Amino acid sequence: MSWAWEYAFGAEEAARTAPPVFLTAVERKAAELVRAAEAQYLHGRAYSEGDPRGGDIAVPGGMFTYLGF
C-alpha cells in the first residue's frame, strides 16, 4: 500500500508554498495511515485500532484531508 499527494494544483506548487515543517508532518501522518491501512487489510477484524477511512488531521502548521479506499 502507498500514498500520494493529490491537490487541485500540483505537488510541486504545494511543496514550494507550504512550510517544510508542515510537509514533514503530513508525510509522517500519511505514513502512519498507510501502516494502519496495511494492518487492517492484513488482520481484518482482529485489528482494533482506528479505521483509516478518511477525514481531517491537524498537524503543526495546518491540517490536511485524507481519503481512504
How many residues in the chain?
69
- pLDDT tier for residue 68 given thresholds of 50, 70 and 90: low
Per cent of the chain over pLDDT 70 is: 57
- pLDDT tier for residue 7 given thresholds of 50, 70 and 90: low
Q: Where are the domains of the chain?
A: 11-67
pLDDT tens, position by position, 20-44: 888 888 888 888 888 877 877 666 6
Contacts of 18 (CB under 8 A, 6+ apart): 61, 62
Minimal CA–CA distance to 4: which of 37, 38, 34, 42?
34
Q: What is the pLDDT of residue 3?
A: 66
